[in-house]
């Protein structure tokens, strides 16, 4: 091997070591790794189902602790009747509306607080107040003050989420590279282009974090809002099944809910993040 400077030498060594490791790894080893990536989670899920089945078989009242198959049957029945898709769609719409509202207001507030010390000092006490206000209080007050209508539900959910988004985006706005802003100022890059080309790309990791934790929170609060003051949606249905003591129905809705959340994570959030971080590779 040719001798070069210390830096490039280390890099070359590391590269050739990695290449050697790649050559040494047999196709069997690669197949084994793929298997363990699929097989181990599958085994873990089967174990959970087995545990559930065991608990159900020991239960005195099978209505209060239904077996997995009973729950899947309930899931299929509800879907066939069209009930589950309808309520799931209504809930999804509410999630989408409050998510959009919370993100746009939260981003605006976070950017303003991150870029201006005056706004930050004025806004911080408000932020602390809303961060620590229990979600249930916001929901009840929204229904009392606005009425038992859709707007109250969406507002209540968004109000619960805006402070978290604002705090995350504020961190991002504080970390903006001042050198790039100076460059944009000297070259007189138009304001909108600065936002799109320079500010937003630096905020993407923070936006992704806010979106992810935002969805996780909104999913849960939307159900409470529906339980307390709407006549449709997954939360409303759970309330109905609670009154009927129909545990199979409750678990069926819960499973459908988990599946949809995970589909959104795999189908939308992860591909989006990969696309936005292409330049790092």
The Cα–Cα gap between 269 and 111 comes to: 22
Shortest reach from residue 7's CB to another protein, in Å: 12
User: Residue 95 corresponds to which tokens in the numbers above?
Assistant: 């999630």
Shortest reach from residue 236's CB to another protein, in Å: 44
The Cα–Cα gap between 25 and 21 comes to: 6
The Cα–Cα gap between 270 and 178 comes to: 29
Coil vs helix vs strand at 91: helix
Only one residue has tokens 């309520």, namely 87
Q: Which is nearer to another protein, 59 or 181 (CB)?
A: 181
Q: Which is nearer to another protein, 203 or 252 (CB)?
A: 203
The Cα–Cα gap between 238 and 84 comes to: 11
Shortest reach from residue 127's CB to another protein, in Å: 27
Q: What share of the chain is helix, strand, coil (3-state, %, to 5)?
A: 85, 0, 15
Shortest reach from residue 271's CB to another protein, in Å: 17
Whether 177 contacts 202, CB under 8 Å: yes
Q: Which is nearer to another protein, 140 or 181 (CB)?
A: 181
Q: Which is nearer to another protein, 266 or 279 (CB)?
A: 279
Q: Which is nearer to another protein, 33 or 197 (CB)?
A: 197
Coil vs helix vs strand at 147: coil
Q: Which is nearer to another protein, 123 or 205 (CB)?
A: 205
Shortest reach from residue 63's CB to another protein, in Å: 56
Shortest reach from residue 171's CB to another protein, in Å: 19
The Cα–Cα gap between 67 and 248 comes to: 8
The Cα–Cα gap between 78 and 250 comes to: 11
Q: Which residues of the chain form contacts with another protein (CB under 8 A)?
A: 179-180, 182-183, 185-189, 193, 197-198, 201, 278-280
The Cα–Cα gap between 264 and 51 comes to: 28
């Amino acid at each position: 091997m040719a001798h070069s400077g210390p830096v490039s030498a280390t890099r070359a060594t590391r590269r050739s070591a990695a290449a050697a490791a790649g050559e040494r790894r047999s196709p069997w080893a690669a197949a084994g790794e793929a298997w363990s990536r699929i097989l181990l989670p599958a085994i873990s899920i089967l174990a959970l189902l087995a545990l559930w089945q065991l608990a159900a078989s020991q239960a005195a009242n099978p209505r209060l602790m239904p077996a997995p198959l009973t729950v899947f049957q309930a899931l299929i029945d509800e879907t066939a009747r069209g009930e589950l898709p309808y309520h799931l769609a209504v809930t999804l719409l509410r999630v989408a509306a409050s998510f959009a509202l919370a993100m746009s207001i939260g981003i605006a507030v976070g950017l303003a607080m991150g870029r201006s010390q005056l706004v930050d000092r004025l806004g911080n006490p408000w932020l602390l107040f809303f961060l620590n206000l229990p979600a249930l209080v916001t929901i009840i007050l929204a229904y009392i003050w606005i009425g038992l209508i859709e707007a109250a539900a969406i507002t209540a959910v968004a109000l619960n989420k805006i402070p978290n988004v604002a705090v995350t985006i504020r961190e991002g706005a504080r970390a903006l590279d001042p050198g790039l802003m100076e460059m944009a100022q000297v070259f007189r890059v138009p304001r909108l282009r600065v936002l799109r080309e320079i500010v937003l790309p630096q905020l993407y990791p923070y936006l992704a974090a806010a979106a992810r934790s935002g969805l996780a929170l909104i999913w849960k609060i939307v159900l409470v809002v529906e339980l307390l003051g709407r006549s449709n949606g997954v939360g409303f249905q759970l309330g109905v099944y609670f009154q009927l003591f129909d545990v199979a129905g409750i678990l069926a809705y819960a499973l459908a809910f988990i599946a949809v959340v995970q589909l959104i994570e795999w189908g939308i959030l992860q591909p989006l993040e990969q696309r936005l971080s292409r330049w790092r590779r």
